Structure 1
Amino acid sequence: MVFVAFGGKMEEISETESPYPHRAGNLYSILYVVDWEEEENKNSKKFMSWMGRVYNYMTPYVSKSPREAYSNYRDLDIGANKINNDKESYAEARVWGLKYFKNNFDRLVHIKTKVDSQNFFRHEQSIPPLS
């Protein structure tokens, strides 16, 4: 686990001033990491299970409703776009989008729709344009 300290000036910036909303009231951002050497791939399920238990253990100590996330710590376990004919579902993306961007998600969807309506720039957790 990596703890990144928050506070100070970050608390003075409004949640809506930038896409990154996790500011006031947050003491740390926590990055859950597990890695292994290629020859240990046979143990990958064990390693991921262990990290899942740590993640679940931390539940009472972290943000809730929803449990928030930082988009640069990509976490496909919280959700991913199901790409069907190059169209992502807004409803599906909103599940993980609110964890990353909170109430900024809808604003970011509208911006994405305006500047990339064909969804050229996309990945498993890219913000989808509205259809």
Structure 2
Amino acid sequence: MLKAMILQLFIFSLSFVFNCGYDADAIAQAACAGSFPGGFVAAVRRDCNLNRPTCSTICKNAITGMRAIYGQQGSASSTCFEAFHFYYKHATLTPDQKGKPLMAMYRYGSAGCHRNGCGPNFCCCRA
């Protein structure tokens, strides 16, 4: 009985870490929201491969999905204002470990909106 409970707790902990603890979408959304002074903002995923659409194109095409989330408010068009590359590889730290990085992101600024190669894997779109 105790072994089964420990196993369930272990599985729950792994599930939490993989589903909640390192949610790249939520981290990118927070980074985008923190990079813009106000208004409707969305972090939109982008493939990190050669010859993919730029974040400018992705944001332009994302307005329907954005408005489906927050309603028919704000602008009827969307533009890119920032781009990030989220590095999915991250460290595993115990609560007592200090002075070590957990994860990393690269901030492209508005210039990242126009990159079409591998680079940003999240676009910051505003409506």
Normalising by structure 2, report the TM-score: 0.25
- Which of the pair has more CA radius of gyration? 2
Report 1 or 2 for greater relative contact order, CA contacts < 8 Å, sequence distance ≥ 6. 2
1 or 2, which has the higher strand percentage? 2
